[in-house]
Structure formats: C-alpha cells, structure tokens
Structure 1
Amino acid sequence: MTLRGIDSASQWGGCSQFHFLVWFVVFSALIMAAEGDFLARYRAVSNKLKKRFLRKPNVAEASEQFGQLAKELKQQDCLQYAAFCNLAMARCEQTLFNAPGEALALTDAARLFLSSEKENRALQAPGFDEHLQAALNCYSFAVKVHIEMNQPVMAASLCLELGNALKEMNRPGEAIVHFQRAAELQTQTPIENLLSMGEMATCKILTRDYDGALSVFTEMQLTCQERGLQLPGINTPVGAFLDIVAKCEISRVLLLMFLEPPPQKLLPEHGQTLERYAWESFEPHSQGKSISVSLYYLSNVACLFTANADHKANKWHIVEACVCVRVPSCPPVTFLPENVFLLLQSVVMACQEKDTESLKSLQIELWPFLTAEQNHLLHLVVQERITPSGQGI
C-alpha cells in the first residue's frame, strides 16, 4: 500500500468515527427530547386532576390518557416510565371506585417494573433493586385488591407469578413467602394448593432448609390422604393425588436419610414412614420368626427387578428372588412401584449399615426413576456418607 493509500484510509477512519459521534449525539438528543415530551405530557395530565373552584376534574379522561401514554412508552422500550404511568392510571381507577381497572393497572405496572429489573440484570448494570421493590409493592397492592373483590384465585395466580419470577432471579428465600401465600389462598382447590406447596418445598431445598422442606412434604402427603379422591374401600388416593403422594414419599425418605434425626427428635409421622422401609416390616404373617437377610441380598433383589427391560420377566425375577430370601413379593406401600419401593428400602438399609459402596450402586439404579430434585437429594445423601457435613438434625 502506498503512502497515499494509507493517508486516505486514515482519513476515512477518522470520518467514520466523526459520523458515529454525530449520530450518537443526535440519537441522545432524540431520547432526551422524548423523555422531555413524556414528562411534559405526564405533568399536563396530572394538572387536569387538580381540584379547581367550581370545577370537577375529569378523572376518567385522565386515566385514559395515562393508559395511552403508558402504551407509547412501552413501545419505546421505556418500561419503568410506562410502569409509572400505569401507577397513575391505577390511582385514577381507585378514585372512580373501579376495582377491576385498578387491579389490572397495578398488575401491568408490576410486570413492567419486573421486566425492567430483568433487563438491568441481563446487562449486569449496577443498581439498588429499586425496580424490583416497586414490582413487589405493586404485586402486593394488586393481590390486596383481588382479595377485596373476593377473587382468591386471581390473587393466588399473582403470588405464583411473583414467586416464580423471584425463583428465576435466584432469590428462592424471598419466593417462599409468596408461594406460601398462594397456597393459603388456594384452600378451595386442593391440587393447586399442593402444587404451590411443592414450589415452596423446592425453594426450601434451594435455601438448604431441609428440615422445613421435610415438614412441607409431610403436610402435602397428609393433605392428599385427607382431601384426595379415593376409591371405596381403598385408603390410597387416586389420580393426580396419587402422583403427589408418591413424589412426597420419595422426597421424605431421602430427606430423612440425609438429616438422620435422633429418636428423641423423630416425629411420629416420620417414624411411621421409616417403619414402612424397615426390614422387620416384611416378616411373613405365617411365621413369627424374624427374618435376617443381609444387605447384599436385598440389593440383589432390587437389581434383579431393574436389570431386565421386559415387565413380565421382571415380575418373575422379583418373585423368584423374594422366595429365595423369604420375603413377600407385594410391598405394603401401594402408591409406589415395586422396583422403586425395593430400591428405596435398599437405600434405607445401606444408610443404616453405612455401606457407601452399595449406596453408590443404588444411586445409579434409582437415577432414572427420580426427578431432578430427588436425584439432588439422593446425591446429598451419598455425599453425606462420604464426607459428613454435619447439616443433619
């Protein structure tokens, strides 16, 4: 490249930088002008609400103008300004005694504040969580309005929406309160109530409040047994309640194995749960002698059940193995599959015998049958046996 070419290239680079600066200044001026226009329009609408002598303010017109301004600001991606306009609109609707309009405006403002907070977090911009606090206040007022209108389902949905948002923002400790409030508002709908309690238990696990999570799962299981649909002559719930009972049972067993509460602190309902997985509970009715079988055989029973993919072959394998160790083939827990029940019983025995190697093998066998949360709990149980952390009761 010649000297002339280098000189022209440098001039072109300088010219492009100059053009960029010009466009940046123009764009900034346009933004400032838009903000100035927004403030002027906001003040103009607010002035219409001032009380004057012998003149009643037109609150309905002001509310409509605030709503129109909020839509324009939302289209311009000025979310926090749009939220403030929705707040002003909510105040107007409150003056008009229009509770549904007030609740809608408060909900829109809360969602806009929350979206603005998420954008700031995505950009990693420093701040004091002011938009999040504004969103919390708006959600709280909207829930209060729905409760006053005797709409607990709508109020619970807002609590769930806020709880899920806080959970996504890595604030599970703050989300617990809102999931709990949603569960309290859903007492007339048992399934939704149980799902909200399940979210609360998940947040407690994320905050390492394992004792609190165990209490929530126990309450969920009792609720299913009391309010769940049951067939005549059968105490086991059916349908969605059965799935929730099975999930709670597995989570409770794993939490009890992790916490290892001493006998003096073991609650009666937790003791009954552990009794279902104790080896003595498998004593045949025809014989009064206690069965003494090593952990190795019980692990083999579970492995035989899960090794073969054919269901019919699985059934014959488990029956044959149970006959060898003189164990009945039908477990007393009717809401869990036989293979899962036997594997869980093997986990309980491995924890009692402090057999870490068997526990690792059982973790591999149980992995496909558990949810991500339950696999996390099982991993904690294994890690607690390898390197005790002292997090138990």
Structure 2
Amino acid sequence: MATDLNASFNEQFMNINTKLKKRFLRKPNVSEATNEFLALAIQCEYSEQPTFAGHSYIGAAKCEASVGNFLGEAEHLVAAGRQFMKAEKKLSSLKFCSPDRENLEAAIGCFIQALHKYPDNSSIRLSILTEVANHLVELNLKCEAVSYYEQALELVEESNMKIMFMRNYINLLIECDNCDTALEKANELIDSKPNLPEDILAEVQLSRVLLSLYVEPSDEVNTESLKQLLTDILNDVDSEAIPFNADLRLKLQSTIISCATNDTHSLVKVSSELKHHLSTRQTGLLESLLQAKREHLA
C-alpha cells in the first residue's frame, strides 16, 4: 500500500484523494486509487475502526463510479453500509445514543444507493432490503424495519420463501402495534391458500384470533375465512384450518366469549392459562387486549 501505515486515517485518506486530484492534466490511475482505498478499509477493519472503514469503502466506490463500473461501485457501497452498521451496533451495545444517528443514516444511505445500481427484478435487491431490515431489527428499530420488509416482500416470488417473509412481516407488525395491518396481512396469507406447514398455520391462525379480538374489525372489513374461524372455534368444529389441541381450543372459546360479553374478570383468568400456548409477541398482543378491555370498562 502506497500510504504510510503509521499515518492517521485522515492523512492516508487525504493522500489518496490528493494523488487523484494532482493528475487532473492526465488520466488518473483509478485502479491504483481503488486498491489503496480498499487496503485502507481493510486496515481500518483490523483496527476495529468501522466508521473509517466505511468511508474508505465509499472512496473505492467513487473510484469505480468514475470509470462506469457501477456493479463494483455497488459492491463497495454495500461493504461501506455494513461497516457503518457495525459502528452503530457497537455504539448501541455501549448504550450510547447518537441523536444525529450519523453511522446509521450513513449505512442506510449506502445500502439504498447500492440498491439502485441493480435491475428492478434482481435478487440482490431482495438481499439488500432484507439485510437492512434485519439490521434495524437487531438495533431494536423494528418499526423502521417494516418498510424495508414491505419492499422485500414485493420482490419474493418463490412460494416457501414468500410464506416465511409474510410470517416475519406479520409478526413485526404485531410488535410495532400496527395490528390493523397485521390482521389484514394475516387474512391475506390464509386466503391466498398456500400450502402452509402446520406450525406456521397454527401460529398465524392463533394470531388472527387475538388480532380480531383486539382490532374488532367491522363486518365490512372482516373476511369470511376469519368469521368462519371464530365460528368453528366456538362450535368446536374440527377443521384442517384449526390445528389447535383441545386445551388451546377450549381456552380460545373462553377468551372469545369473555371479550364478546366484556367480562374482564373471566378474560383475566383465562388469559393467565392461555399464555402458556402463546409466543412472546402473542403474549404481548394478549396483554394489549386486556388493557383495551380494562380501559373500555373504566
């Protein structure tokens, strides 16, 4: 590497840029500059300086853009985005909050800029959107992740992958307390009649029951399949669409009746038993339902 390894990052970074600018009278050696930026990025990674590494990858990306190598530019932008995300997670682990979110905004900017370098139907666009969403979830910025999952979902074509994306999307909406949309998407998943694995079917159907009790959708919005689900549970009808064991079905019957009669005391009692059948996010949804019923009666 042409730069002095003992120099500061700023000195090395500026040295590369200066060499490029000094060659304005002749065609600069962009390939050499790209390699120097990449070498500096790797050096910064080894030194646990992800923010500096991110800026170095951006330098390499700009070099690739200057010669029309847009895929190379995109590759380096993704690398930069990952380094900025790493820096943001490091700050988060230290419980340090940056009000301007410099690293996070830089990371998202790099990922989105890279995204637009690929064709609309490229699988790499799906990978980038999914990666951004997953990073945001890890940073507990789940509501910000929703829009990226939405965009990714539009690009998914393979049926099994689409099922998993829809499931994750619905769960994320529940965690963000966007329950109206969560119910809408859960209904959409069931009504599209995919061949759902039994465990996913049970999870989605259970979420639909809890969501419907919490959201209380109007008859115009309610779907026939959801009405049938609630009716079959109340009437103890056996159906492939209700893969619940006898105990869970009994608890759901009591929950539905308690909500319909606004019997908060009974709802509290059955909820303590129902929780054993629920996931963490479904338990949170049940708690929201209880709180809504208490406020309604207050």
Q: TM-score, normalised by structure 1?
A: 0.66
Counterpart in 2 of 1:201? Answer: 170
Instruction: Tell whether 2:131 aligns with 1:131.
Output: no
Kept after mapping to 1: 8 A contact 2:58/2:80: yes
**Structure 1 residue 131: Cα displacement:** 1.3
Counterpart in 2 of 1:147? Answer: 119
Counterpart in 2 of 1:345? Answer: 253
What stretches of structure 2 of length at least 5 have no aligned partner? none
**Structure 1 residue 279: Cα displacement:** 7.0
CA pair 277-138 structure 1, distance change in 2 beyond 3 A: same
Per-residue CA distance 1:335-381 (angstroms, 9 max, x = gap): 41242334323321221122334323432333232211112222222
Which structure's CA Rg is the greater one?
A: 1
For the residues of structure 1 that align with 2:266 and 2:295, how far apart are their CA atoms?
16
Counterpart in 2 of 1:317? Answer: none
Kept after mapping to 1: 8 A contact 2:258/2:264: yes
Kept after mapping to 2: 8 A contact 1:331/1:341: no
| Identity of matched residues, % | 27
Kept after mapping to 2: 8 A contact 1:253/1:274: no
The one-letter code matched in structure 2 to 1:373 is R
The one-letter code matched in structure 2 to 1:248 is V
Kept after mapping to 2: 8 A contact 1:160/1:196: no
What stretches of structure 1 of length at least 5 have no aligned partner? 1-32, 229-236, 283-326
The one-letter code matched in structure 1 to 2:229 is R
Per-residue CA distance 1:235-263 (angstroms, 9 max, x = gap): xx35x3x4333222111111111122344
SS in 1 for 2:118: helix
Counterpart in 2 of 1:267? Answer: 221
Equivalent residue for 1:116, pick from 66, 69, 87: 87
CA pair 260-52 structure 1, distance change in 2 beyond 3 A: closer
CA pair 345-139 structure 1, distance change in 2 beyond 3 A: same
Equivalent residue for 2:13, pick from 42, 55, 59: 42
Counterpart in 1 of 2:199? Answer: 243
Q: RMSD between aligned alpha carbons?
A: 2.8
Counterpart in 2 of 1:321? Answer: none
CA pair 125-342 structure 1, distance change in 2 beyond 3 A: closer
The one-letter code matched in structure 1 to 2:186 is F
Q: TM-score, normalised by structure 2?
A: 0.85
Q: How many residues matched?
A: 292
For the residues of structure 2 that align with 1:111 and 1:220, how far apart are their CA atoms?
32
For the residues of structure 2 that align with 1:343 and 1:123, how far apart are their CA atoms?
41
The one-letter code matched in structure 1 to 2:109 is N
SS in 1 for 2:296: coil
For the residues of structure 2 that align with 1:351 and 1:123, how far apart are their CA atoms?
41
Instruction: Tell whether 2:287 aligns with 1:387.
Output: no
For the residues of structure 1 that align with 2:95 and 2:270, how far apart are their CA atoms?
44
Counterpart in 2 of 1:311? Answer: none
Counterpart in 2 of 1:277? Answer: 230
Kept after mapping to 2: 8 A contact 1:83/1:113: yes
